[in-house]
Amino acid sequence: MQIERIAAFALGDQGGNPAGVVIGDALPAREDMQRIAREVGYSETAFASRDGDHWQVRYFAPESEVPFCGHATIALGCALGQRFGAGRYELQLSGARISVEAVLTGAGWQATLTSPPTWSKPMPAALLAELLPLFHLTPADLDASLAPHLAHAGATHAVLALHNRATLAAMAYDFPAVLALMQREAVTTVSLIYREDADTFVARNAFAVGGVVEDPATGAAAAALGGLLVDLGRGASSFAIRQGEDMGAPSLLHVSVSGQKGAAVRVSGAARLL
């Protein structure tokens, strides 16, 4: 079994979020996928096998299966492109049908995923009151122009917008307590963001439920943020997310939204082989 290691949303020859990619004739047994993901040690490993006109795909973090992973989808798209050629690949996930497009550029392989449908809702006050102190935050640290929400694009993310870049850089949290909260609330990441301008965000994503402190690039959270912004009134447009800067793995995600509430979001990025 060949395990490919690819960093998605990379900036040239640096940064990006490493993912494992396993492409085979059939998906391994669930316990084997979990074991392999734990041995690979990245935040996610994608497993794919061809099934007629589409690919069956499952994603595993070191400690659990996740329903959708953006950076592993970008890595998978680039791996499929390398093996079978540039183009669009239809993916059947455990709970949704999505696609990924691979293209070879002068700088290497790039991919664009089209996410599952999106939704968002204001974060319940009780959950916010529990979450803030676990991240050593207070209501005064929040950006009043973008209230805390739960946002979904194949997986659910708790989104906290901060009004100060330095507060984002200082992110720290109580890992066991946040892990328990994420498991209880079925939250995949806690996404802390800083809006630098109308078309640029800086993000950090806590991923305790996956067994790692933080992801350097999180495509699923990027798609969920896109859906949230549309729900709050953003029209058809594109924006960028910089992530990983504060952990020494600078990454860049490009997000495109249709302006239609609930619609899929497109997230693009470059990949580099590890």
pLDDT in tens, 137-161: 999 999 999 999 999 999 999 999 9
- Percent composition of the chain: helix, strand, coil (DSSP 3-state, to 5): 25, 40, 30
Structure tokens at 207: 């991923």
Are the CB atoms for 60 and 44 separated by under 8 Å? yes
Instruction: Considering only residues 43 and 233, tell me which one the structure prediction assigns the higher pLDDT.
Output: 233
Candidates 142, 215, 212; CA nearest to 178 is 212
Q: What is the pTM of this model?
A: 0.94
pLDDT on residue 52: 93
Candidates 216, 133, 205; CA nearest to 168 is 205
pLDDT on residue 224: 98
Q: Which residues pair with 40 in a beta bridge?
A: none
Candidates 103, 2, 97; CA nearest to 53 is 97
pLDDT at residue 1 is higher than 80 = no
Candidates 260, 268, 191, 201; CA nearest to 224 is 191
In the block, which residue shows the tokens 């009151």? 129
Structure tokens at 178: 């946040």
pLDDT tens digits, 3-29 = 999 999 999 888 999 999 999 999 999
Structure tokens at 140: 């005064």
Structure tokens at 118: 């999106």
pLDDT tens digits, 178-221 = 999 999 999 999 999 999 999 999 999 999 988 889 999 999 99
φ, ψ dihedrals at 149, nearest 5°: -140, 160
pLDDT tens digits, 81-132 = 999 999 999 999 988 899 999 999 988 999 999 999 999 999 999 999 999 9
Q: List, in order of start, the domains of the chain with CATH numbers.
A: 4-110 (3.10.310.10), 118-273 (3.10.310.10)
Q: What confidence tier does 238 reach under pLDDT thresholds 50, 70, 90? A: very high
Please, what is the average pLDDT of the chain? 96
Are the CB atoms for 162 and 193 separated by under 8 Å? yes
Question: How many Å apart are CA 57 and CA 50, to the nearest integer?
Answer: 9
DSSP 66-82: ES--HHHHHHHHHHHHH
pLDDT on residue 7: 96
pLDDT on residue 12: 86
pLDDT tens digits, 46-81 = 999 999 999 999 999 998 898 899 999 999 999 999
Are the CB atoms for 273 and 12 separated by under 8 Å? no
